[in-house]
Amino acid sequence: MNKVGRIQELWRYPVSSTGGEMCNALSIDERGLEGDRRFGLFETETGAIATPEKDPRWRPALLLCSRVGETGETLIRFPDDQELSIEDRHIVERLSAYFGFGVSLGKYPDVAEEISPRLPVIGRAYKASPLHLLSSSSVRQIEGRLVTQEADRRRFRPSLLLDTALTDDFPEDGWIGAILHIGSVRAIVIERTKRCGVTLIPQPDLPEQPEVLRTILRTNHRCLGVYCDVIDPGILQVGMDVFIED
């Protein structure tokens, strides 16, 4: 096997469309990372699922941050630093005031029944991939083509950011169909990640930056990073080496 990099950052996003949390170690199985994308936002009146990449009304979702607390509860932090559990009886009122229209929380069908039983089950706006991988080399390729020379990796919302050697291309594009080994975890790279308007939306400490998506479109056919399916479960931890089968 050939070493292709190491885990530089590990992220999960407990509530879809919101900012996530950086973690040191997480378990992963065929469904994805522990605690990742279990819940979602939807419009109370119509039931429409949050889609910040399509509907400007949902763009403020990227300024929220979600995380899993020490006792396992999922928390949402607002820009004013108020943090509420999704179980809090005031959370719907707070979300609705924040967005300016009725907003509620739901859980996805694959979430265990005993988790947040009072929340309704909702569909996903898109098929979630168990693992989203992005290399530091690919981020630097985009940065080098921007006038600002800045392309913060948080815009791309990866599960794994790999520290890789600097190259003149997008290395993970060449891994489609390959098996990755990370400790006891094995994952197969299934497709390139096609980028959408989320990459240009403001996030905490990040302004709107339309040039990022335009550059990805011009440079790499709108793709940056790859999606993976998990073959063998295990633990992922920052600092782990990542290998690819010959």
Q: Is residue 210 part of a domain?
A: yes
User: What average pLDDT is seen over the chain?
Assistant: 95
Q: Is residue 147 part of a domain?
A: yes
Q: Is the per-residue pLDDT at 246 higher than 80? A: no
Q: Is residue 73 part of a domain?
A: no
Q: Is the dihedral of CA 100, 202, 130, 73 positive or negative?
A: negative
pTM of the model: 0.94
Q: Is residue 141 part of a domain?
A: yes
Task: Go through the chain and tell me how many residues it has.
Answer: 246
Side by side, the strands of the sheet bearing 25-29 are: 32-33, 25-29, 234-237
pLDDT in tens, 137-196: 999 999 989 988 788 999 999 999 999 998 888 999 999 999 999 999 999 999 999 999
Domain count, the chain: 1
* Phi, psi values for residue 96, rounded to 5°: -65, -40
d(Cα 96, Cα 43) in Å, to the nearest integer? Answer: 9
Identify any residues that bridge with 234 across adjacent strands, giving them in sequence order.
28
d(Cα 74, Cα 55) in Å, to the nearest integer? Answer: 25
Q: Is residue 49 part of a domain?
A: no
- Which DSSP string do the residues of the chain spell out, in sequence order? -EEEEEEEEEEE-SBTTSB-EEESEEEEETTEETTSS-EEEEETTT-PBP-TTT-GGGGGGGG-EEEE-TTS-EEEE-TTS-EEETT-TTHHHHHHHHHTS-EEEEE-TTS-TTSSTTSPB---SSPPPSEEEEEHHHHHHHHTTSSS----GGGG--SEEEE----SS-GGGGGTTPEEEETTEEEEEEEEEE--GGGGS-BTTB---HHHHHHHHHHHTTEEEEEEEEEE-EEEETT-EEEE--
Q: Is residue 224 part of a domain?
A: yes
pLDDT (0 to 100) of residue 168: 83
pLDDT (0 to 100) of residue 229: 97
pLDDT (0 to 100) of residue 158: 97
d(Cα 177, Cα 1) in Å, to the nearest integer? Answer: 15
Q: Is residue 36 part of a domain?
A: no
The CA-based diameter of the chain, rounded to the nearest angstrom, is 54
CATH number at 132 reads 2.40.33.20
Q: Is residue 184 part of a domain?
A: yes
Give the structural domain span for 212: 2-12+128-244
